[in-house]
Chain A
Amino acid sequence: MAPLEAASVTVEFAGLRALDDVSLTLGPGEILGLIGPNGSGKTTLVNAMTGQVPVAGGTISLGDAVLTGRTPREIAHAGVSRTFQIGRHFDNLTILENVATAALGKGAPVRVALERATALIEEFGLGRRLDDLAEVLSYGEKRRVEIARALAGEPHYLLLDEPAAGMNEEETESLIEILAMLPKDRGLGLLIIDHDMGLIMRLCERLHVLASGRTIAEGDRRTVRDDPAVIEAYLGSGSGDA
């Protein structure tokens, strides 16, 4: 599998430069942490990579295939999936139906989609809630459903926007276990945004740090963690949890 690549990506919102010349590469089977203070452009980068916002400059590509300017649907079919920071569920559908949607979206027949979804839901520890409507789930359960749903599309790359937000310690712990296995089990390339540095440090070998829409550091997690620019960005923004 070819790497997923963002090269010199710039995104602008009515004059505000949310991303400025950001480049990032995600390889198959790797876990990359994308961190940075609030408003630094992490979600915007994921939005740009999945076609949710247009880019003002730069290219997004998956091997030879250029993804820039393609719709979210086309990018999903190319093998890039994501979850949403705000959480997006199909409230009136059951957990099973929620998760099966991704497989159906990629063209799987109903029977296959339901089987695949059932297996994933069990794997995520929600087997007994298969038939509950998504709207009745707790916050942490919804997050798990959303990740399971993304996986049901059998993507090559998965971009997770704050998967542990709102989870308690126990839930975070089991999430870390599941996420750690994904690259090995499925050859999946994983990008994780999170403010929980404990989670990031345990899962990611490599980190990419944004501040005010620019890359301020990237590379090995230990080097990045001790980088003065990173410490400065976090302390300067007053982001206590980082």
Chain B
Amino acid sequence: MMARRNWLTFVLLGGVIVLVAVAAELVGDRLLLRITTNLCISMVLVIGLQIFMGNSGILSFAHVGFMGVGAYTSAVLTIPVQMKGMALPNLYPFLADVQMLPVVGMALGGLTAALVAALAVYPLMRLSDAAAVITSFALFVVLHTIMYHWSDVTNGPRTLFGIPGGTTLPLAAGVAIAAVLAALLFKESRVGRLLRASRDDEIAAASLGAHIPRLRWQAFIVSALLAGIGGALWGHFITSFSPKQLWLKETFVILAMLVIGGPRTVTGAVVGVLIVTASFESLRSLEGAINRADILSEPLVGMTELTLAVAMIAVLALRPGGICPSREVGYYLFRRRARGP
């Protein structure tokens, strides 16, 4: 059970997502709908990362690896049987005849990512600080390499196509709202509370009886579940992708969103996604407009990435906890109401 002000946080954050989605639907512009759907998918991924990173205080680079596990699992389970001969000619027979609905594939994509996490990461959870970050990167490399070379299932480095669409804006927004709720519930759970204590002081938390590796492991599994679902949503949104799209650029964007918003709070995750998406998209269209107008002799490239990188550095330097460092939005409103006349 959550305290009342956490429900208020949920209503506010969920409300923002609903508002953005409804506004996009009402305007009905196709580009806007795509951007908003993408925003909701990012929300799922970033909130998933928040569950592990925000509560444990350990930066994980492996998140996009688990996003890939979800994306490929769902793709393999949902590509129409008659397409599979072309898209994945060497697929194992027991998978070749499978054709599930995208939403079923998404759920199984999330569960597979969670299962892989549950089986693979426990030994890493004993590590802290730099060692933990570096090993998470090594895990990312392992997952990426498997996707890159397991051609029978992933089509290797080549683009995997034929994935059915199925990610609509209402679906993506619904999953994003569910992710917000999951993250808030997790944060207030016994595991989440103990994990946050260990984030602030590992020695003190252990001396109070917290089993830190197990707590981290539990958070990582939930985090991978959301990464997998987010990855599957993404796969059914763009309908063809290759491992190159699940590598450092994607990792950087997701990390930047969380770090800028504030990893310790769910509010921070949501705010980070909104701010980064909004500035990213406006910069991208500005970049496009400049290039179309032929003002410069060479086309302008990389402005969005550069801006994001600078923004991330600025936030880390000036406000290390991000825009929303330690309190959820519900706290401020509830306090004001409680003190009201």
Chain A contacts to B: CB under 8 angstroms: 50, 52, 71-73, 75-77, 81-82, 84, 88-93, 97-98, 100-102, 104-107, 109-111, 113, 133, 149-150, 153
Contacts and interface: CB of A to CB of B under 8 A. Distances in A.
A112 to B, nearest CB: 10
Contact of A101 (B188, B197, B325): B197
B285 interface: no
A140 B200 CA distance: 20
B211 A100 contact: no
A90 B204 contact: yes
Nearest to A153: B208
Nearest to A101: B197
Interface in B54-98: none
A109 B196 contact: no
Given A105-B194, A110-B193, A76 B200 contact: no
A105 B196 contact: no
28 contacts: A50-B207, A52-B203, A52-B207, A72-B203, A72-B206, A72-B207, A73-B209, A76-B209, A81-B208, A84-B204, A90-B199, A90-B200, A91-B201, A92-B200, A92-B264, A97-B193, A100-B193, A101-B193, A101-B205, A104-B193, A104-B210, A105-B209, A105-B210, A110-B188, A110-B189, A110-B190, A153-B208, A153-B209
A38 B205 CA distance: 27
A88 B201 CA distance: 7
A156 to B, nearest CB: 13
A109 B1 CA distance: 11
B326 interface: yes
Interface of B: 1, 188-190, 193-194, 196-197, 199-201, 203-211, 264, 321, 325-326
A73 B207 CA distance: 5
> Which secondary structure dominates where chain B touches chain A?
helix
Contacts of B204: 84, 88-90
Contacts of B196: 90, 92-93, 97
Contacts of B326: 92, 133
Contacts of A106: 208-209
A102 B193 contact: no
A83 B308 CA distance: 43
B3 to A, nearest CB: 9
B207 A90 contact: no
A35 to B, nearest CB: 23
Contacts of A153: 208-209
A223 to B, nearest CB: 33
Contacts of A92: 196, 199-200, 264, 321, 325-326
